[in-house]
Structure 1
Amino acid sequence: MKVVVWNEFRHEKNNEEVAKIYPEGMHETIAAFLRDEDVEVTTATLDEPEHGLTDEVLQETDVLVWWGHLAHDEVSEEVAEKVKQRVLEGMGLVVLHSGHFSKVFKKLMGTGCDLKWREAGENERLWVVDPTHPITAGIGEFIELEQEEMYGEHFDIPTPDELVFISWFKGGEVFRSGVTFKRGNGKIFYFRPGHETHPTYHHKDIQTVIKNGVRWAKRENAQTPYYGNYQPLEEL
């Protein structure tokens, strides 16, 4: 399985607090624990030519993991559209945290993808609401995060195909923090935790969920359906 971890890689360069948590960038932290699973992982960042997502890279990618925040508008329309088309063709997509507002995710959802938010370092409890789902394998009833950014409902997304996690925050809000979608021949997993000033991607349970999500998002059936004019199977 070939996985690309994409990160805009701006906070780590401009914020000392973030740089201490992720000295090589969030993408390298995520790539490192995915490599522990014997997955072939590469990374790509915003400031690379074509944001590191050339036609060749995308064609060879089974699953793309996406983290963005400060620079959604700097992602070119051309690249965002190419990623969308690859998902429709069958590439898996795992969207993390503030990637909900990325051009790619919004194109695939067809909605505004807005929500409530608050940075108060409050604790988050992610409840597993579908313990039969493969994304929750190895996780107990919930994941406890000591500090995270709050995201609250209403989350302006289409009704998910599957609801996997619901979060509760100390301030009282709840949020659909783990949801899946199918678009065309591709599968999408959105997973909420991952604010840049908290060490969320060093948390073992969060790592397990992302590993599971990547494996789930990989398309197992490589056969591409035929579209367009079609000759009859029987004599007319």
Structure 2
Amino acid sequence: MSGERALRALVWNEGVHEANRNPPSIAEHYPDGMHGAIAAGLRRLLPGAEVSTATLADPEHGLGEQVLERTDVLLWWGHAAHDAVDDAVVERVVEHVLGGMGLLVLHSGHFSKVFRRLLGTTCSLAWRNEGERELVWTVKPSHPIAQGVPNPLVIPEQEMYGEFFDIPDPDDLVFISSFAGGEVFRSGVTFTRGRGRIFYFSPGDQDYPVYQQAEVQQVLANGVRWAAPDEPQRRMPRVSNPPREGFAQR
């Protein structure tokens, strides 16, 4: 992002699993919540950035207009409460993405209202949760999000996500994952919507300490850098533009 202002990232987590202590191991894996672990990794790897957190239980889900206006990149984790997210908040987030705010959608956030609204598909996939090893293979090593990430990135235990993943063709396919059962999954993909950059990254389940892994934190930090807008001022694309002077009108 250009300019001297510090990059501002907001980690959003619905916080339902933490509040309900379900699974019971979540308190051990994420004593400060999954959003806390993600934010800590970003602060370590992006020392000049301002990193804050918000949850579903906050007023306006912590995603009020003034908050989003000052957010360069929003990270979204959701799973059990997609339908509880207010539609007005969803539209507000979508408008800011179209205007240039970066968006990282994490793991089960593929089913969030925000992601489905921006992509226009069901975003459904195959899944199985048996704590299998996941290998995350870099298939576009030149991409900024892949920099400094081991190939493969080994996740000892993780929920299996598999194809078919009902998303539009991505701008970039950065990572593909393979699992013990033979499934593969497009686990790291990018999109552009309006002026906003979007990165979806699937590893990161509430049952396993995936967000405590340094390599996963590196991917997220890279994703934040990549998704940050080039211009600090939010500008919505116009529905129609007036003709430029000097061009013939028909």
Interval of TM-score (by shorter of Structure 1 and Structure 2): over 0.9
Q: Which of 1 and 2 has higher RCO (CA within 8 Å, sep 6+)? A: 2
Alignment match, 1:123:
133
Q: Within 1, Cα distance between the matches of 2:243 and 2:171? A: 33
SS in structure 1 opposite 2:121? coil
After superposing on structure 2, the runs of 4+ consecutive aligned residues of structure 1 that deviate more than 6 Å are: none
Q: Within 2, Cα distance between the matches of 1:90 and 1:226? A: 9
Q: CA deviation at 1:20?
A: 1.2
Query: Match for 1:205 among 196, 215, 232?
Result: 215
Percent identity, aligned pairs only? 55
Aligned length in residues: 236
SS in structure 2 opposite 1:106? helix
Aligned residues of 2:95 and 2:236 also touching (Cα < 8 A): no
Superposed CA offset, 1:47-105 (max 9, x none)? 11100000000111000000000000000000011101100000000000000000000
Alignment match, 2:10:
4
SS in structure 2 opposite 1:220? coil
Bigger drift between 132-141 and 163-172 goes to: 132-141
- Shift of the 141–13 alpha-carbon distance from structure 1 to 2, 3 Å rule, reads same
Superposed CA offset, 1:14-61 (max 9, x none)? 222111111111111111111121210111100111000000001110
Unaligned runs of 5+ in 1: none
- Shift of the 231–35 alpha-carbon distance from structure 1 to 2, 3 Å rule, reads same
Aligned residues of 1:13 and 1:19 also touching (Cα < 8 A): no
1:27 aligns with 2:35: yes
SS in structure 1 opposite 2:25? helix
Question: One-letter code of the match for 2:66?
Answer: E
TM-score by length of 1: 0.96
- Shift of the 63–146 alpha-carbon distance from structure 1 to 2, 3 Å rule, reads same
Aligned residues of 1:124 and 1:146 also touching (Cα < 8 A): yes
Q: CA deviation at 1:225?
A: 7.4
Aligned residues of 1:53 and 1:79 also touching (Cα < 8 A): yes
TM-score by length of 2: 0.91
Q: Within 1, Cα distance between the matches of 2:95 and 2:50? A: 22
Unaligned runs of 5+ in 2: 1-6
- Shift of the 159–54 alpha-carbon distance from structure 1 to 2, 3 Å rule, reads same
RMSD, matched Cα: 1.4
